[in-house]
Amino acid sequence: MIGELSMKKTARSAHRSGDAAPLGVYVHVPFCSSRCDYCAFATWTDRHHLIDDYLAAVRRDIARAFATESRAVESVFVGGGTPSLVPADLLVAALAEIPLVPGAEVTVECNPDDVTDELLAAFAEGRVTRISLGVQSMVPRILELLGRQHDPDNVISAVDSIRRIGFTSFNLDLIYGTATERLDEWHTTLERALHLDPPHISAYGLTVEPGTPLAADPARYPDDDVQAEEYEVADELLTAAGLVNYEVSNWSRPGHECRHNLLYWRQHDYLGFGCAAHSHVAGRRWWNLRTPERYVAAVADGQATEAAGETLDAETRRLEALQLSLRTTAGVPRDALDGESLDGLVEPCGDRWVLTRHGRLLANEVAVRLR
Ligand SMILES: C[S@@+](CC[C@H](N)C(=O)[O-])C[C@H]1O[C@@H](n2cnc3c(N)ncnc32)[C@H](O)[C@@H]1O
Ligand code: SF4
């Protein structure tokens, strides 16, 4: 198996030709062992019987797409759902169909309680370069409130494995703003996470997604003021530890920024594989059939997996580029914003406006002023 994969590795590595636009790949794995009640992602807990057929369909779909796509891929992100739940050899076999540029970034999202040395060794052999761990909190009470299946010890042992197997880049996902979370508990989460010395942390304010059980229970909605305070504490502690905020919700050591997310924020092209996956090429966006059953059937029948799509006009694309860039340290050109009227929310940086810490909390309000 390893021999076969290494041959594939050589066969499917390629250089990006000339000045072609950078290309990324997203692979969606829509299976979870239990459903977190704040989560709106396309994922199922009762369809594990589809896993083998699903990964075979993803493999075939990728091979089919790259029969005509001449560009090699700069970054791959395998997200979910729970990619660490499915057999690693089948996932890696699908990834082997992707032609990568030398040094490409390949990230797989993992739930901490799934991580073992064997799983990570299989990923490393399959050209995975980066692990993103769904930590959310390092406080047992908050993990329980979030309905998570893991505990902080699972996170510590997962990070040990990540280091033992030799991954030098990894991310910890955190969530703040769970109802009744105290500031000292969030502080504890940040300190325990930083104690693991991660090169990258994403911290997301808990969002009430329509249609989720959380949305049906207003008593558990996060408090905006508490969340704002938690964001400021996160930025202070993470910055003091040497992690640089490079996008509203993302901090990294220099050189460990997530290249795949940067590709999204720069409006580059990406192809999405698997059910509900989104794609974008040169201003046209489309998304795949939502359920794994329909996706598997479409691939088997040689049909398109696209459910629907849209083409952005030039003006919408231009404004979207500014909105995305505003959220990053790149900021926006001075003439895109009346920065003087947004006192304290943006500051000048060379010939650009960039968000201040306070401005990052109000990024959406600033974005509506872009011109
Ligand atoms: C879709 S999950 C997949 C990863 C993995 N299954 C997990 O939950 O750990 C990716 C990340 O999105 C974030 N996330 C999901 N739903 C969210 C919500 N309603 N509000 C804020 N963050 C959310 C979590 O931090 C999670 O790690
Ligand atoms: S948050 Fe992660 S583990 Fe929970 S249901 Fe969503 S994808 Fe699955």
| Atom of ligand 1 lying closest to residue 214 CA | 19
Residue 354 has pLDDT above 60, yes or no: yes
The residue among 69 and 5 whose pLDDT is bigger is 69
- Give tens-digit pLDDT for 86-118: 999 999 999 999 999 999 999 999 999 999 999
Residue 14 alpha carbon to ligand 1 centre in Å: 33
pLDDT at 14: 47
Query: Among 123, 103, 115, which Cα is nearest to 27's?
Result: 123
The arithmetic mean of pLDDT across residues 196-207, rounded, is: 98
The residue among 9 and 218 whose pLDDT is bigger is 218
Cβ of 209 less than 6 Å from ligand 1: yes
Residue 3 has pLDDT above 70, yes or no: no
Q: To the nearest whole percent, how much of the chain has pLDDT over 70?
A: 95
The helix, strand and coil proportions of the chain, stated in percent and rounded to the nearest 5, come to 40, 25, 35
pLDDT at 1: 28
Mean pLDDT computed over every residue of the chain: 94
| Atom of ligand 1 lying closest to residue 174 CA | 25
Q: Give strand pairing partners of 251.
A: 201, 245
Query: Among 79, 62, 67, which Cα is nearest to 28's?
Result: 79
Residue 46 corresponds to which tokens in the numbers above? 């009762």
| Cα separation, 188 vs 193, whole angstroms | 8
pLDDT at 277: 98
pLDDT band at 20 (very low <50, low <70, confident <90, very high): confident
Residue of the nearest CA to atom 4 in ligand 2?
A: 36
Residue 32 alpha carbon to ligand 2 centre in Å: 6
Residue 274 has pLDDT above 50, yes or no: yes
Cβ of 208 less than 6 Å from ligand 1: no
Sheet holding 352-355, edge to edge: 332-333, 352-355, 346-349
Q: For residue 328, what is the enclosing H or E element? A: none
The residue whose CB lies within 8 Å of the most ligand 2 atoms, and thus the one to mutate among 29, 33, 34, 35, is 35
Q: Give the CA distances from residue 328 to residues 237, 249, 264, in Å, rounded to whole numbers and listed in that order.
A: 19, 9, 12
Residue 9 has pLDDT above 60, yes or no: no
The arithmetic mean of pLDDT across residues 303-322, rounded, is: 96
pLDDT band at 2 (very low <50, low <70, confident <90, very high): very low
Cβ of 83 less than 6 Å from ligand 1: no
- Collapsing DSSP to helix, strand or coil, 219 comes out as helix
pLDDT at 237: 98
**Residue for token pair 């997604």:** 209
pLDDT at 18: 55
Neighbours of 197 (CB within 10 A): 11
| Atom of ligand 1 lying closest to residue 207 CA | 20
pTM of the complete model: 0.94
Q: For residue 335, what is the enclosing H or E element? A: none
Tell me if 119 sits within 8 A of 162, measured CB to CB.
Answer: no
| Cα separation, 99 vs 165, whole angstroms | 24
Residue 8 alpha carbon to ligand 2 centre in Å: 31
The arithmetic mean of pLDDT across residues 62-71, rounded, is: 97
Query: Among 44, 39, 12, 49, which Cα is nearest to 29's?
Result: 44
Antiparallel, parallel or unpaired: β 278-281 and 284-288:
antiparallel
The arithmetic mean of pLDDT across residues 30-45, rounded, is: 97
Backbone angles phi, psi at 272, to 5 degrees: -105, 135
First to last CA, the chain: 54
